[in-house]
Structure 1
Amino acid sequence: MSITSRITGSKHTFDSVREVLAKANEEKSGDQLAGIAADSEAERIAAKDALGSLSLETLRESPVVPYEDDEVTRVIQDGVDEAAYDRLKDWTVSELREFLVDEQTREPEIARIRPGLTSEMVAAVAKLMSNMDLIQAASKMQVTARCNNTIGAEGTLSFRLQPNDPSDDVENIRHSIREGLSYGVGDAVIGINPVEDNAERTKRLLDVTKEFIETWDVPTQNCVLSHLTTQMEAVRQGGSADLLFQSLAGTEAGNEGFGIDVDLLDEAYEFGKEHCTASGPNIMYFETGQGSELSSDAHAGVDQVTLEARCYGLAKRYDPFLVNTVVGFIGPEYLYDGRQVIRAGLEDVFMGKLTGIPMGIDACYTNHIQADQNDIENLAVLLTAAGSNYFITVPMGDDTMLNYQSNSYHDASALWDIFDMGPAPEFETWLESMELMEDGRLTAHAGDPTRFLEGDR
């Protein structure tokens, strides 16, 4: 398929939908590393022009990885609601953008078209949007989910409490949980990245978090982010998991690099519905991030925004409680600086919400990327305006186990204050009972972890 565009008298020709999607993308170091990025701003603008004129039917019929070659493509294509698709297949990508940014369009209207979209359509419209467009459109979308509490409700902003420790020291982890809860975070999940990926360690950390939650009657959920098969084995050995976690990629080959496939995900989903200790119904947690497919040489010549959208199309199959992108974590090869990280975060939350999943973010960076804490705080403010369901928080914004920087526990109160928001409703009621919150604001007791010493219970 040849796709052409004429800009300022110059003719630009693109050989495929895959090429025009890649060259219409905003500048990303990962696309440049893969050799698929636009060669100039003029070519990028021409690609956007060409992409905007394509019909959604063309995108449906031209998945970036062929249906017969890739099970992620098959999940996305087979999951389309054909009646919803028929109503919008003649729209161009530009018309979809106009629909989403129209001030008359709200969640009920978006919900009617959402089942007819493929991931390529979702990625395509994101490429035509400015940062403000992404924020405006995403802010209209509301996707809620329930595990032991409910996230995504209007006026709420949730946080994952991430009490990682470089040696998986149980008492250090407990201290970090105490501190996080004292600042009011943890309603999304208390989730630990273990140092060792084995069933014994995973079970021990699950038991530690579950015991803490039950001791203090915390209306939240626990998760240990080891490999999916490790978590399942830990549960078989008696561990108590509210959520099952797995990293996802946007191609079959990328998921093979993570040691998973759709059959395993299907098995885990059914296993979780039977064995997870949450009230549910949403018991899956997925993590993604632009560039992961390129890092495992599994990108199939596809740009990282489109691949990220395909992750969300796969995640949707499992009706998850949490999905978050991790921007800025895997290095400058994929997102070079703060500007690219901010753009990626806005794209990802928009695409996740348009896909219909409860979308959050780890707004983060590593020390070898051209970014700093101001970039991450800027992104947190922008994405709160965009309606991100949740953020990841770590002590003082510094994860000493994974060696990267993110939002801190105490950032939560600033974001709630700026936007007049609060935690999940069940969690807020609990915080009030603990005298940590009153009338929607943290009290003078906030930040005092000694309130959660066992002897004071």
Structure 2
Amino acid sequence: MKLKTALLGKTFQFRDLKDVMAKANEEKSGDQLAGIAAEDAKERMAAKLVLSELTLADIRNHPLLPPENDEVSRIIEEGVNEKIYAEIRNWTVAELRETLLRHETGNSEIRRISRGLTSEMVAAAAKLMSNLDLMQAASKMEVTTHCNITIGQKGVLAGRAQPNHPTDNIQGMKASLFEALSYGIGDAVLGINPVIDSADSVKELLNATKEVMTKWQIPTQNCVLAHVKTQMRAIRQGAPADMVFQSLAGTEAGNKAFGIDVALLDEADDLIRRDGTGTGPNLWYFETGQGSELSAEAHFGIDQVTLESRCYALARKYNPFMVNTVVGFIGPEYLYDSKQVIRAGLEDHFMGKLQQLPMGVDVCYTNHMKADQNDMDNLSVLLTSAGVNFLIGVAMADDCMLNYQSTSFHDIATLREMMGRRPAPEFERWLVKMGIMENGRLTPLAGDPTLFM
């Protein structure tokens, strides 16, 4: 495996594959914090050049985190289709990139190739791509899933209604939810982040959302984003959960910091399939985000893009209904400014889609980050162009419970109208019946939450 190159009159020697992968990343404050980033643009260019000439076999034969030491690595290895891998193992990373971007390479061929890739190969390809490359490749991929309804079709932009409330007050939550529904948002999920991580609170929120769904005959699914153990207790007590949720990391140690492991996820998977209220077959909601492993000191010197890609192999094991990266939530320690947030959102969407996941993005930032709402507007447009499955809708784009900025209900409605996207078909038929939408456009009734009062 060649780890040296001469560039601009200087020889660059990299220590190992982990070193090349980290230094080939676009600039990320998280990699700088970890002490693994390229020193300057020249070293970054050299690392990209070295990485481009490595073969997929080189990457697989030099694991960044050996399977004997990490259960996520074992899942990645077990997920490789050996027949397809044998056909492409001698491709260079540059050849993988070119194949994905080639005009004649369509969704079905990309889907087949993806079965022979590891998460590290996917991350390597992302490092060689421009933002437009990431968008072009992702836009070819269609990943549809079904819980109670189907999302992910070409031309569909779904929205998660996120009616969080700072005290889990049911009436306050419903006020936000009714606004979301009035703008046509909620086809991905009625998904609430609870303040109180207790089975009683989760049960109350699930009952409240299910009552709204039943009363208004809304074709969608509900979920409360508590810790998976809390959700399991609520479901065992009879709570009506269509899906089960959990945040994921890209290493076994990172997941232990979240209080989970594969055995627990397997148990939750069995429970939601046995006692959940969703039709299925896709009954999971996962969230990820670059930097979580470093914040838990569980990154093992691996860069945050590669670790994020590894999350997607773990998610794929459970055939989820939806996955999203909460792209700017952690803060400037990991993504310093809007340029890094935009890059990360496009990387994550591409890497998830290439691993056949139904990817959405929480287009968001925290107030101590060098970003603003105009930057989020820019990323929302880029992701919609790239075919993102869903975005997150929060009242006025300001989550008063989690204290971060995201996209509003009317932002998603605007993106649909401006870029020719539609809600999920079953949900759109309901919107038409309610008089909120007609011929693919919102009516004058839209945006009026009193429709549901």
Structure 1 residue 269: deviation in Å? 1.0
* Cα contact 1:76–1:119 (8 A) shared by 2: yes
Structure 1 residue 63: deviation in Å? 2.1
Q: How does 1:25-174 map to 2 (within 5 A)?
A: 25-174=25-174
Counterpart for residue 210 of structure 2: 210
> Which AA in structure 1 matches 2:181?
L
Measure the CA separation in 2 of the matches of 1:422 and 1:264: 37
1:351-390 residue CA offsets vs partner (Å, 9 max, x unmatched): 0000101000000001000000010010000000111000
1:396-430 residue CA offsets vs partner (Å, 9 max, x unmatched): 10000001100000012211112111000000000
* Cα contact 1:56–1:88 (8 A) shared by 2: yes
* Cα contact 2:138–2:353 (8 A) shared by 1: yes
* Cα contact 2:76–2:314 (8 A) shared by 1: yes
Measure the CA separation in 1 of the matches of 2:446 and 2:2: 60
> Which AA in structure 1 matches 2:192?
I
Counterpart for residue 452 of structure 1: 452
Number of positions where the alignment pairs a residue of Structure 1 with one of Structure 2: 453
1:37-81 residue CA offsets vs partner (Å, 9 max, x unmatched): 001110000000000000001111222111111000000111111
Measure the CA separation in 2 of the matches of 1:79 and 1:329: 29
* Cα contact 1:190–1:221 (8 A) shared by 2: yes
Question: SS at the partner of 1:341?
Answer: helix
Counterpart for residue 260 of structure 2: 260
Question: SS at the partner of 2:115?
Answer: helix
Measure the CA separation in 2 of the matches of 1:434 and 1:399: 27
Structure 1 residue 2: deviation in Å? 5.9
Structure 1 residue 247: deviation in Å? 0.2
1:179-214 residue CA offsets vs partner (Å, 9 max, x unmatched): 100000000000000001111111111111111111
* Cα contact 1:2–1:14 (8 A) shared by 2: no
Counterpart for residue 380 of structure 2: 380
Measure the CA separation in 2 of the matches of 1:114 and 1:269: 24
What percent identity do the matched residue pairs reach?
61
> Which AA in structure 2 matches 1:362?
D
Can you give the 5+ residue segments of structure 2 that lack an aligned partner in the other structure?
Answer: none
Q: How does 1:175-194 map to 2 (within 5 A)?
A: 175-194=175-194
Counterpart for residue 395 of structure 1: 395
TM-score normalized with structure 1 length: 0.98
> Which AA in structure 1 matches 2:111?
A
Structure 1 residue 15: deviation in Å? 1.4
Question: SS at the partner of 1:410?
Answer: helix
Question: SS at the partner of 2:137?
Answer: helix
Question: SS at the partner of 1:324?
Answer: strand
Counterpart for residue 236 of structure 1: 236
Measure the CA separation in 1 of the matches of 2:209 and 2:413: 23
* Cα contact 2:155–2:387 (8 A) shared by 1: no
Counterpart for residue 334 of structure 1: 334
| 1:352 equivalent in alignment to 2:352 | yes
Measure the CA separation in 1 of the matches of 2:424 and 2:366: 30
Question: SS at the partner of 1:164?
Answer: coil
Measure the CA separation in 2 of the matches of 1:256 and 1:446: 44
Measure the CA separation in 1 of the matches of 2:288 and 2:409: 22
Structure 1 residue 9: deviation in Å? 2.7
1:61-109 residue CA offsets vs partner (Å, 9 max, x unmatched): 2221111110000001111111111111110000000001111111011
Measure the CA separation in 2 of the matches of 1:63 and 1:444: 57
Which runs of at least 4 in structure 1 moved beyond 6 Å after TM superposition?
A: none
Measure the CA separation in 2 of the matches of 1:236 and 1:108: 40
* RMSD (Å), alpha carbons: 0.8
Counterpart for residue 247 of structure 1: 247
Q: How does 1:362-441 map to 2 (within 5 A)?
A: 362-441=362-441
> Which AA in structure 2 matches 1:146?
H
Measure the CA separation in 2 of the matches of 1:83 and 1:347: 27
1:138-191 residue CA offsets vs partner (Å, 9 max, x unmatched): 000111100011110111000000000000000001111111000000000000
Measure the CA separation in 2 of the matches of 1:276 and 1:154: 28
> Which AA in structure 2 matches 1:158?
A
> Which AA in structure 2 matches 1:4?
K
> Which AA in structure 2 matches 1:318?
Y
Measure the CA separation in 2 of the matches of 1:180 and 1:218: 13
* Cα contact 1:160–1:391 (8 A) shared by 2: yes
Question: SS at the partner of 1:116?
Answer: coil
1:256-295 residue CA offsets vs partner (Å, 9 max, x unmatched): 0000001111111111111110111000010000000111
Q: How does 1:280-319 map to 2 (within 5 A)?
A: 280-319=280-319
Question: SS at the partner of 1:159?
Answer: strand
Measure the CA separation in 2 of the matches of 1:146 and 1:380: 24
Structure 1 residue 112: deviation in Å? 1.3
Measure the CA separation in 1 of the matches of 2:191 and 2:413: 20
Measure the CA separation in 2 of the matches of 1:304 and 1:59: 17
Measure the CA separation in 1 of the matches of 2:358 and 2:124: 20
| 1:226 equivalent in alignment to 2:231 | no
> Which AA in structure 2 matches 1:376?
M
